[in-house]
Amino acid sequence: MSPRTTAPEDAYTAEPFVPDDGADLAALREAAAGCRGCPLHRDATQTVFGAGDAGARLMLVGEQPGDQEDRQGRPFVGPAGRLLDRALSEAGLDPGEAYVTNAVKHFKFTRAEPRGRRIHKAPSLREAAACGPWLAAELALVEPELIVVLGATAGKALLGSSFRVTKARGTVLEREVHGRPRRLVPTVHPSAVLRAEDREGAYRGLVSDLKVAATALP
């Protein structure tokens, strides 16, 4: 057998990088900038930690940063983020008041020839699980009254691998997440709306799910 040069996949975890209880969001963000819990930090530009107020009542959880987010260091600042903001506003939710984050904090991509454009690649379940301690720490600090789950990766990270967007979308779920009861409204990922053949229909579906979230927010 050849000697192992990197941690085995099942040993990926952000855990050793996460500060102990008592750290605030700024301290978490700073620590996350140095996370080496899985191999995704190697090719990405920087950690894209969550953004927003610790007192936010609504938390939005996406998949992972995209190309623009990786360059700018903030979640949902690219095309998917613009669509999301528009849909939130239309549903009666203020995008500026939400805490926005991703299940995975580094951009995963492949390069498309000939010019080497970076193409989004879905993170593996192991990578999402490795990054879970950051999301758990964000949840424990923000303590949102409602979580909007954007797509399958976020859903599996929060609710387990049996999560299916098509079954759960547009409903209010009450579930244990990392040992605490949480209220969640799943919906499709805004990038899926951008890729949909019937984009207008997919967008209307997203807005309709977000209206459920607006109503469920106490």
Nearer to ligand SF4, 16 or 181 (CB): 16
- d(CA 218, CA 200) in angstroms, rounded, equals 29
Answer left, alpha or beta for residue 21, where phi above 0 means left and psi between -120 and 50 means alpha.
Answer: beta
Smallest distance, Å, CB 78 to ligand URA? 6
Nearer to ligand URA, 154 or 173 (CB): 154
Residue 29 interacts with ligand SF4 (CB under 6 A): yes or no? no
Nearer to ligand URA, 39 or 73 (CB): 73
Six-digit token string for 13 = 């975890």
Smallest distance, Å, CB 131 to ligand SF4? 3
Residue 28 interacts with ligand SF4 (CB under 6 A): yes or no? no
What is the DSSP code string of the chain? -PPP-S--GGG--SGGGSPPTT--HHHHHHHHTT--SSGGGTTSSS----BS-TT-SEEEEES---HHHHHHTSTT-SHHHHHHHHHHHHTT--GGGSEEEESS-S--EEEETTTTEEEE-PPPHHHHHHHHHHHHHHHHHH--SEEEEESHHHHHHHH-TT--HHHHTTS-EEEEETTEEEEEEEE--HHHHHH-SSHHHHHHHHHHHHHHHHHH--
- Binding partner selected for residue 40 from ligand URA, ligand SF4, none, CB under the kind-specific 5 to 8 Å limit: ligand SF4
Residue 104 interacts with ligand SF4 (CB under 6 A): yes or no? yes
- Residues in the interface with ligand SF4 (CB under 6 A) total 16
Binding site for ligand URA (CB under 6 A): 62-66, 69, 75-76, 78, 80-81, 102, 191
Residue 131 interacts with ligand SF4 (CB under 6 A): yes or no? yes
Pick out residues in 73-102 that bind ligand SF4 (CB under 6 A).
none
Residue 14 interacts with ligand SF4 (CB under 6 A): yes or no? yes
Considering just the CA atoms, what is the radius of gyration of the chain in Å? 17
Residue 35 interacts with ligand SF4 (CB under 6 A): yes or no? yes
Among 18, 47, 61, 148, binds ligand SF4 (CB under 6 A): 47
Among 25, 29, 41, 85, binds ligand SF4 (CB under 6 A): 41
Using the rule CB under 6 A, give the single segment among 29-37, 113-121, 143-151, 157-165 that binds ligand SF4: 29-37
Residues that bind ligand SF4 (CB under 6 A): 14, 32, 35-38, 40-41, 47, 104-106, 127, 130-131, 134
